[in-house]
Amino acid sequence: MAATAQACYTKRPIPLTEAAIFRRLRTLSRPLRHWLLLVFVLSLAKLFKALPRRLALGTGALVGTAVYALDWADRRRTIEHFRGAYPVETGPWHRRAARAVFAYWGSASADFFTLGSLSPAELAHMIAEVHGVEYLRHGMAEGQGIVIITPHLGHWEMMGQWVSAQRPLGVVARQLFDPRLDQALNAGRLNGGMRVFPRSTSAIPILRWLKDGNALGALADQDTSVDSLFCEFFGRPAKTPTGAVVLSQVTRSVLITGYCWRRPDGRYVIEFEPPIPVPERGERDPMALWPAAQEYTRRIEAKIRQHPEQWVWMHRRWHSPMDEDSNGWQKRHAQACRERMEAWAAAGRPELTA
């Protein structure tokens, strides 16, 4: 009988599906893939620094096009995202747009890797236009901090260097999988005069930074494991970080949007937009953050539509479903977000400005 009971409770092997085998192989090969990526990135950085800029941009575009051909997963995801965002366009248009995205980010990597070594004169030459400077300087006389929300569009690191020359700027950065890659990226930021706050750090230094009247740059256009609300983005619900609104609310800082995109001639345009109203300090209802989050999401979408090839369409922007739990998201707010989005769309998607 004991033998029978033992047989009943014996753990039977679970048959492996093709998907399960693929996931295990990806897990086992992750260290090797990370090492190869590190070698590839650092080699590209050395190459781009050695080449004249025009040649470096062309070489980067060729590298990006090659990645488009080889990286089937990101290529397929990018095409699917274009299909969802531009449903009236044809399949060939979606594929051309996806290829242009990879070509752009290949060429943009040349400017990313060389940014930290630019002299002030070289940086000034690369920036052709700056618009909305008055919004960046809003509140400076009163010693008020400012939070600048920007998307992964164009060259946000270049905008950071330019801003840091106008007023002290800190940036919240995610730590990468390899410390050496992290150090290489942050070296350019530090050389440009920026202060780096790792995403895993306490919020207290960031709050003090803003209360001292400084500026903070925040990327708020990705689906990540941070406190978020769902907002409409290209006609679909997208999990949107709200931390920037909370920081503005707690420190009474100004909340604005800013962008930096590349012109066809290779030079860049920087633009800042009017402040976005934030909830009163002391307001604890998470849904009070939704109007501000939807407003900067609306602005980001509008800017991406102007320069679609310069945004990171390969990111899993619509990955989190509304009706399931995920880190940093409270399921009980899903219905409230849906109702807000429906009401906002019924009202004609109005802008929200201070």
Q: Is residue 246 part of a domain?
A: yes
Mean pLDDT for the stretch of residues 15-25: 62
Q: Which of 115, 133, 166 is the last residue of a domain?
A: 115
Q: Are residues 107 and 129 in the same domain?
A: no
Q: In this structure, is residue 11 part of a structural domain?
A: no
pLDDT the model gives residue 288: 95
pLDDT of 101 reads: 98
Task: Mark whether 133 and 83 lie in a shared domain.
Answer: no
Question: Does 290 share its domain with 274?
Answer: yes
pLDDT in tens, 56-113: 999 999 999 999 999 999 999 999 999 999 999 999 999 999 999 999 999 999 998 8
**Same domain (yes/no): 87, 204:** no
E strand spans, the chain: 127-131, 146-150, 169-173, 195-198, 215-219, 228-233, 236-241, 254-262, 268-272
User: Higher model confidence: residue 116 or residue 248?
Assistant: 248
Q: Are residues 128 and 54 in the same domain?
A: no
Our count of domains for the chain comes to 2
The DSSP symbol for 12 reads P
In this prediction, residue 38 has a pLDDT band, given cuts at 50, 70 and 90, of: confident
> pLDDT tens digit string along 134-154?
999 887 778 899 999 999 999
161 and 304 together in one domain: yes
One domain, residues 186 and 279: yes
Rounded to two decimals, what is the model's pTM? 0.86
pLDDT at res. 96 = 97
What is the predicted pLDDT for the residue at 193?
Answer: 74
Instruction: Flag whether 18 is in a domain.
Output: no
Q: Which range marks the domain in which residue 305 is found?
A: 119-346
Same domain, 59 and 123: no
Type of residue found at 149 = I
Looking at the fold, whether 52 and 145 belong to one and the same domain comes out as no
